[in-house]
Each structure stands twice: as structure tokens, then as C-alpha cells.
């Protein structure tokens, strides 16, 4: 059974409510990953008072539809830059500035991973790997 995020759908097809659209816009304009509480702070600055469950519902929907990714290792959300995440990719997280870049996984690496798990009778679902390091900008500043 494959899990399909169907993230190539546009916002209208994905039943974007005003709340969901607002959260997506904030993620797009933030330029960095946001936690749910950072998102709530941004909303408060704009004069919108939400309770945490409202923010989590919108974020969960955006993740389920592939408009955003949840970064488990840092417990934050980031917009999917190309709205096409029904694939395997790497999310490169800078430990200094917090920038997240999405990079396609090399076919050779994906083939190797598939071979390793197939030996256990397992099949991978589309997903991303979170990799922490230092971005080129932070490297040049140090």
C-alpha cells in the first residue's frame, strides 16, 4: 500500500479554508521553520487569537496534503518548496541559522535503500530524510 500525499493539487482542489490558507501564507513568508507556538505568536502579532488546537488542525492538514513538512528532529513545520513531495527527498537543516533546503535523493542512494529493506521483505513509502549540518552561508561566515 502506497501513501499518496497528492501534493501537486492546487489550494482550491485541496479545500483550503481561510485558516489553512493563513497558516500556509505564514509558513511561506517566514523564511524559516516554525513551531506551532511560533506560528501562534505570528498570528497574535497580526491580531488573530487562536487556541493551539486550531493551529495544529491547520498544520496537520497542510502536512497531510503535502503543502508543508513536519520536521520531527526540531519539532517545526516548513512549507514544501515545490509542492511535489510524493517522492523521496532530503531536508537539509542548518544547525546555525535554521534554514531548510529540500534536495532530491540521488537515485543511487534510493536504489541502495530499497535493496536493503527489500531483503527484509519491506517496501519504503515516499518520505524525506532530515539531515542536520551547516549551510554554505553559515560556513562562509565562520
| pLDDT tens digits, one per residue of 100-130 | 998 888 899 999 999 999 999 999 988 889 9
Q: Which residues of 72-111 are buried (b: 16+ CB within 10 A; e: fewer)?
A: eebebbbbbeebebeebbbbbbbeeebbbebeeeeeeeee
Contact at 8 Å (CB) between 85 and 7? yes
Residues 6 or more apart whose Cβ sits within 8 Å of residue 2: 125, 126
* pTM listed for this prediction: 0.78
| pLDDT tens digits, one per residue of 6-50 | 344 454 455 889 999 999 999 999 988 999 999 999 999 999 989
Amino acid at each position: 500500500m502506497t501513501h499518496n500525499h497528492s501534493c501537486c493539487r492546487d489550494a482550491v482542489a485541496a479545500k483550503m479554508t481561510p485558516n489553512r490558507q493563513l497558516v500556509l501564507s505564514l509558513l511561506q513568508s517566514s523564511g524559516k521553520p516554525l513551531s506551532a507556538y511560533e506560528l501562534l505568536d505570528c498570528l497574535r502579532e497580526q491580531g488573530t487569537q487562536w487556541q493551539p488546537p486550531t493551529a495544529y488542525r491547520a498544520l496537520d492538514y497542510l502536512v497531510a496534503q503535502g503543502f508543508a513538512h513536519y520536521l520531527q528532529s526540531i519539532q517545526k513545520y516548513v512549507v514544501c518548496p515545490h509542492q511535489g513531495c510524493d517522492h523521496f527527498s532530503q531536508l537539509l537543516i542548518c544547525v546555525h541559522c535554521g534554514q531548510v533546503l529540500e534536495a532530491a535523493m540521488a537515485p543511487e542512494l534510493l536504489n541502495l535503500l530499497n535493496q536493503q529493506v527489500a531483503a527484509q521483505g519491506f517496501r519504503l513509502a515516499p518520505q524525506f530524510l532530515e539531515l542536520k549540518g551547516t549551510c554554505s552561508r553559515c560556513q562562509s561566515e565562520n
